[in-house]
Chain A
Amino acid sequence: MSEKYDVIVVGAGPAGVTTAYLTAKAGLKTILFERGDHPGAKNVMGGVLYRKPTEDVIANFWKEAPLERHVIEQNLWILDKNSVVKAGYRTKAQDQEPYNAFTVFRSRFDRWFAQKAVEAGALLITETVVEDLIWDNHFVVGVKTGRPQGDVYGSVVVLAEGVNSMLTQKAGLQKDGLNTAQLAVAVKEVIALDKEKIESRFNLEEGQGATIELVGDATMGMMGTAFIYTNTDSLSVGVGALLSQVVRQKINPNELLEHLKNHPIVRPLLEGGETKEYLGHLIPEGGYNAIPKVYTNGVVVVGDAAQFVNGIHREGSNMAMISGKLAAETIIDAHKIGEFDERALSHYQKKLSNSFIIKDLKKYQNASGFFETNDHIFSLYPSLLNKAAEEFTTVDNVPKREKQRRIMELVTSERSKLEILRDIYRGWRVMG
């Protein structure tokens, strides 16, 4: 492998494949490395895939890509020990082409997606770990792979290595590394269940899908969320919590998942299902303040490696794809003038800043810090809300004004009015 490439992409996830597909399509000599046996073999997400950002890369992808169900209903469940307060949105508008979102399996979708990059002319090399960058006078000129004589040279290296961003850190782009308050550990099971059962339990017709995000007792009150997504003939059931809280609470992620699966409100949805796979993954939750420097001489960083995840809105794969696209545009321009130094690649940063990616991450930059240091938001409020609902729905000859008084008393016995006002004010500041 002594030839020189225009573009070397490290990692065949949604970010890396997007870049490889677009640079190959533009005629640039592109090589795409994947450490797994096939693209997707190491990749995990919930997984909801959004139509618009995917369509920005491959038009009409839903006509041929391996997708599970199109999402027509999204729910939020606020759990207490044996009750739930629900909110949701269901629409017929998302029940027709071009759809809004799909449930997917990364191992199948990424394989298909990478094949598109190959058809566009990219060279895909699987079962190959990129172990280091090759530097020449403060310039990255290639990569060292785990294969014998495995050095590969190129004009630009795209780091799409995912959340375990070891090369990004090695390159000095993330000087302080990452800490446990900037990462969530998530586990998931894929649980096979008859199509008919899924459709009757979730009130769906053929092809339609629903999502449920769960907070409160779903994470044992830790900062995080759980989820239940409908696939064609299985459910994806998972839970994630901030690593700093998991360390502090001494809870094993698998036990957290079992707690969710056995919750009296959740259990009937999964009844009769058979687990097919158990998965674990880290999610970058540090937001704006955890973003590394995303370019240097001969390098750009995309997707999870750049910490592009909006945990509050359950967005990640869209940011991966759009950052991959912006990187590809920058590289194609840089190729025209034949310059890949910091100045040329800094256009990637400018494009990111003008996009929803940096705008959204900036908007919520103080949110995860606020939640991390205010444990009660994820434990106390869900419980109070459920107790208020219990009081509200119980008809027991008590006058309504008395009920309101009881609810207020219940709330203020746990947290003073002043503290609640402060929580609302601070919550509004970080979220609004």
Chain B
Amino acid sequence: MKSLEDKLFLNRYQADKHPHLRVLDREKCRHCKDKPCTYICPAKVYAWNEKEEIIETAYEGCVECGTCRYGCAHDNIDWRNPRGGFGIMYKYG
């Protein structure tokens, strides 16, 4: 069985140096009970860092579905389209 990391590795990306998504207010995440961003994202871009108490974002694997924008109960994710030509490049689609 392929792991999610293996699957994302199959995809073609044009990685941007500038992230196209960010958590707006880190304080809100600390009080967020379920942290849905950590499980609803198909590419698992968001992960809770227990030690630092922050959401870490691996934006490079984003498949640009937009689920996090709506799934964050606190409207705390600023997600934009990556700059023109950057991000996921589907071969099949």
Contacts and interface: CB of A to CB of B under 8 A. Distances in A.
Interface string B49-93: 000000000000001111101110100000011111101111111
Interface string B3-15: 0100110110010
A44 B85 contact: no
B22 interface: no
Contacts of A40: 90, 93
Interface residues of A, number: 52
Given A147-B84, A163-B66, A258-B1, A280 B42 contact: yes
Contacts of A282: 65-67, 70
Given A246-B40, A254-B4, A129 B90 contact: no
Interface string A39-61: 01111110100000000000000
B90 A127 contact: no
A247 B71 contact: yes
B70 A180 contact: yes
Given A276-B91, A277-B90, A146 B83 contact: yes
B90 A43 contact: yes
B66 to A, nearest CB: 4
Interface in A201-258: 234, 243, 246-247, 250-254, 258
Contacts of B11: 277-278
Given A35-B84, A275-B7, A278-B11, A178 B70 contact: yes
A42 B90 contact: yes
Contacts of B93: 40-41, 43-45, 47, 105-108, 110, 279
Interface of B is mostly: loop
Contacts, number: 136
A163 B69 CA distance: 12
A36 interface: yes
Contacts of B42: 185, 187, 252-254, 278, 280
A317 B89 CA distance: 20
Contacts of A262: 1
Contacts of A128: 84
Given A278-B8, A280-B65, A107 B90 contact: yes
Given A107-B90, A108-B92, A280-B42, A243 B71 contact: yes
A278 B63 contact: yes
B10 A164 contact: no
B84 to A, nearest CB: 4
B27 interface: no
Contacts of A105: 92-93
B43 to A, nearest CB: 6
A189 interface: yes
The 7 A-B pairs of least Cβ separation, nearest first, read A107-B93, A127-B85, A280-B42, A106-B93, A278-B7, A280-B63, A127-B84
Interface of B: 1-2, 4, 7-8, 10-11, 14, 34, 36, 39-44, 63-67, 69-71, 73, 80-85, 87-93
